[in-house]
Structure 1
Amino acid sequence: MMKIFYFILFQLLAGAVLAQTHQRNAVVSDPVIDAQFGDLQQKRKSKGETEGTYFLWDVDPRGVMYGVNGDTTSQVVFNYNINGDYFEIANMDKKWVVNGEQLIGFHVRELNALTSSYYVRLSGREDIPDGFFKVLFASSMYQLLEHVIVDFYPSNYNAITDSGYEYDRYVKSNVYYLLVEDELLEESKSTKKIVKAINEVDSRVKSHVKKEGLDVNRLSSVVEVLSFVSS
């Protein structure tokens, strides 16, 4: 199996070349009838019945998508349905739906982000679920990936006691995956546990965290630690 680092690096380089040369500018799927897409959009816009959605972003971002066949899109507005594993793409005056398996990754400028983010698709591993992962850090030894999951919580409102949630809710959470030379070392929602796992590989981490006054409950501190042990 190709190491994730080299896979990510290859996709980043390939994507950059494709985006710069604009050799291809194809949407990587077939259109879905307007009525079907309209139903999807209506579900996303409904208010008063649910809180949140299965979509990765609350506001559709703009980005570049890379297909498994080597095609790339220009800058397009899209969103990703996490549980359904498909993308909704706004293309001119039409709407498109693309199966997640048709993409190897995508660059996107997320809301309030200073830089663009790269997401890579992983599949076929027993230790990591299939889907798209945000690349937070990648070196020849360490890879830190972020995977967003969505849990559905039905309404549990009690009118008598006026307690609980009145609406059904979709709640997102981040799961971090730390890989060392392509082997999964730690899977956790806690950045503190990720730092602890890195320290098990490199004992310098504990003293570095103390010296620099890093808050291990912050994601930026995890990236700082990985940069330190990779230097």
Structure 2
Amino acid sequence: MKSYYPLMIDLSHKSCVVIGGGKVAQRKISSLLESQANVTVISPKVTPNIEELSRKEAITWINRGYYQGDLKGFFLVIIATDNSELNLSIYRAVDHSTQFVNIVDHPELCTFVVPSTFKRGHLQIAITTGGASPGLSKKIRQDLEKRYGVEYDDYTAFLARMRKWILSQNIDQERRRHYFSKLLDDKWIQEVSKYKKTQVEEKFKQMFKKENF
């Protein structure tokens, strides 16, 4: 098995192509769109969901099979047809010096894998077994989704605001670290779930002022 380097990559406005139009391709397309990529799909047949995305102009759908030269100019390539031999043929056209490639039925040939992920506000968690067991990645993701519930949407937004506020205060690095640590107390998760954000922020600021003035 390959040893992958974990990496979060900015795909906003990057040109990405998905060859294939089935359910696997649909899942790949959805994750690319969430990352604000510019997505082109090449396939003579697509799922109703992919066709709807095309109608809404969320993607570019080229309604035909793959032609030699179709991969030129794309930053990221996902090969997801239901024909393994065709997938390998397309793979051989990839420019490995400039393009990332994922070929769905040949994980050993991929230069990147797509982990099982979920988001809670600013928190994004990704799990992968490097292709050894996607089922295990999914199981662990589902376990973590229960542990880190929707309350983390508001909590991570609160953390971001308070971090910015602490950084604006005239205190030394050690004191900053002290207050960053205090924000990780579970009580703040409960606070932001129960009260308005302005109330919780004011409570933290009052605590800060008591300790510093």
TM-score by length of 2: 0.27
TM-score by length of 1: 0.26
Higher strand share: 1
Task: Name the larger-Rg structure.
Answer: 2
Higher helix share: 2
